[in-house]
Structure 1
């Protein structure tokens, strides 16, 4: 997935810092979005997935206007449990790694899950 950092994505806007650079909460959301897209093709009708564990290192700052590519690759699947490695890189000339880590998702029946709340 590709994203462009906007003012709304910054640490200052998200309350996770005071600088006008990509905020870690937005980066985590992008990583989770990539895992949702990666798992979507294997979900049965009525099923969805929920995030249960995230471990991501935010390694490099990204300025407003910077394009970032986020990828998710399945590394483990056992029944309802799915684990993905995630990576974010700057697009354009340098391709530097912005973040890397792992996201775990569990497949659930959406209706049943919501009925338990």
Structure 2
């Protein structure tokens, strides 16, 4: 699949923008404009897996905690060996979280 790298910027009034959004049959305006102007249907990506809302909240909380830990490591005066050790553990936790998310996906 060819990567989209070119950007087209247009200026419009609030009324023009609202009219475009109102006419759009797609969730994303850019996708609708491509289909309308180029006459080519949008290519569908792989569907995202669905995860139970409770599990998603728990994973998000864990992720937030991990981000706070990473910021603390970057701000502090830890020696290199300690930083590498903690970062290694963070990577292991990230991998474990990905496995848990996959195991609890409704799209298995």
TM-score bucket of the superposed structures, by smaller chain: under 0.3
Tell me the TM-score normalised to structure 2 length: 0.25
The normalised TM-score by structure 1 is: 0.23
User: Which of the pair has more CA radius of gyration?
Assistant: 2
